[in-house]
Structure 1
Amino acid sequence: MTGSAAVGRDAAVLVLDVGGTSVDGAVVTADGRVVGGIRRFPSPEDNDAATVIGRLAALLSELRRSAGHAGVDATAVGVGIPGPFDYERGVSWMSHKLAALRGLDLEGPLRRATGLPVRFCNDAAAFTLGAWWRQHPTAPRLVGITIGTGLGSGFVVGGRPAGDQEGAPVGGEVWNAPFRDGILEDAVSGRAVSRVYRQRSGGRRIGAGAIAERARHGDVAAVAAFSELGDALGEGLAAAAAGFSPTRVVVGGRVADAFDLFGPRAETVFARAAGTRTPFDAAARPDLALIGIARHVAATGFGAARSAPGSPRLRSGPTAGTSDAARSGHGDTPPKGGKRT
């Protein structure tokens, strides 16, 4: 069904949050209810384009069946995905993940597979919108930070995406903000935690999750690695978001599972650097990005062929998982006419 929901049935969005490690899927109603829980699927990261698109289409078909069983009408598809990506046209310019899709149209195949209009948005920006809607709806100026393999961000004012005219960094990006001898993502990411731990322990490189477990068991190098992450997040964000003056910061992404090991320190360092105390906390629920994606679709019109002029957009820049090559501009820059967002 591509029009209005049938009488007595709720309208819903079929939502995919696409990452390099996994794809989360859910049916989300217009009022932000997740129907039937979250489904997590392995990412089709290393497959060819036809396989990746076919897998995403199959996941959407499964979600549509779930919506039908739950008595709700799917009226649109929402896809949250990292940049670089042309969110208007549905074309990926990534080469660091899902590289087989680079330069290809995703909107057309997914629309044909579902018979529904398809919207795309940046996953970190969607996370921030979901965090405002479901966790901090009274926060005047909210910053969302996603920390995974890399660093993503979003800025929201009064429940809508903020622009640079409201003090947000251009494109909502902080990953590439100058920091010490490099950029902020060099110091605030899962890669950074792994690198610092390896340097301090002299051991082999392991992931941030394993390092967090060691930190909780008293491993001195692991504790130090997360302390350095907190220092860098607080100091770097205070500089990158100085023009925005956030009233709240919420942290998501896989590394946020270890928020207790770095979040309080980040808040303290931010307060010292910014000259004002701003509360930091972790994402309180795992569906914030999914809800934010659905919120974006709702804002642009359930079932509308195209969003109305002036509708809020979620175009914040590259997010958790973007590679070093992409971040330095060597590989993920779209050709002339594309958008690096």
Structure 2
Amino acid sequence: MTRPIIGITMGDASGVGPEIIIKALAKEEIYRQCRPIVIGDAKILERARNIVGASLAVRPIEEIETAIFQWGTVDCLDLDLLPADLPFGQVSAQAGDAAFRFLERAIELAKAEKIDAICTAPLNKEALHKGGHLYPGHTEILAELTDTQDYSMMLTAPKLRVIHVTTHVGILDAVRMINPERVYKVIALADETLKKAGIASPRIAVCGINPHAGENGLFGYGEEEEKVIPAVLRAQQEGIEVVGPLPADTLFYRATRGDFDIVVAMYHDQGHAPVKVLGLEAGVNITVGLPIIRTSVDHGTAFDIAGKGIADELSMLEAIRQAIELAPKNASTLPGWGSGCV
């Protein structure tokens, strides 16, 4: 089987992204499973190689067709947007703009079917905004540049999958944004995504908004009855195996026990906190509903340790593996990359 081409975006180069990419691509197993290419800045990647002490060669290229995909050599589609002495751990408009440009190029390549999936290193939202790109994060950029209306963030960790109805908004805004149509669409996305991943009948559980899922009106102002229950009933009528709303304080435990394949969380921290408790180093962020595959590390730019060579690459490794798993099975074969190259 042809190994999929995974485009790895560098993220904010003032953070740990370049270091964890180098550490991950030092693993020979990655090259046995896929054909990785970094989309970023070659001189920054070379600096990261020196910092972590990896015995790898960084190979700048201008076109993806010239990549060689050989372990020991990191192909870097070099956009050459940054100075070699870019400071570590500082919010930079230049780094924020570059992070956007790296992702923009990756999306173009994925839409043209020149890469099979995108795996993103973290960006810094403040730097992104200073660079002139007013998005809450990766997910919203991906949605806009692929003209996607219905999408959601899914997090995976050992023994747990979580998909979100709302993400990067304040809690009061999140409650206002939750409505039956949005909840239903996220349930349907969860069902579709897990079926594509090989789970024939995904078991889906939906969180309540209030403590104890409102407890029949005791807590809140009837949000569960107004916003959640109609969506669950609609999904059940369509044959989706879904239950809820259920109290979040016990639901995540039940999911890790194996009662459910995925949990629908109502807002950012409701879903993120359990995943990160289970293992920040192994968490992966997957954007579902897009016409392209995108996975990401589930941590930030870690400015406080950038440039020290101590950042953990485990989340990046797992994000690459998830991208491989989700990539189309008829992986890209560009000119000169026939079956003899796999």
TM-score with structure 1 setting the length: 0.29
Larger radius of gyration: 2
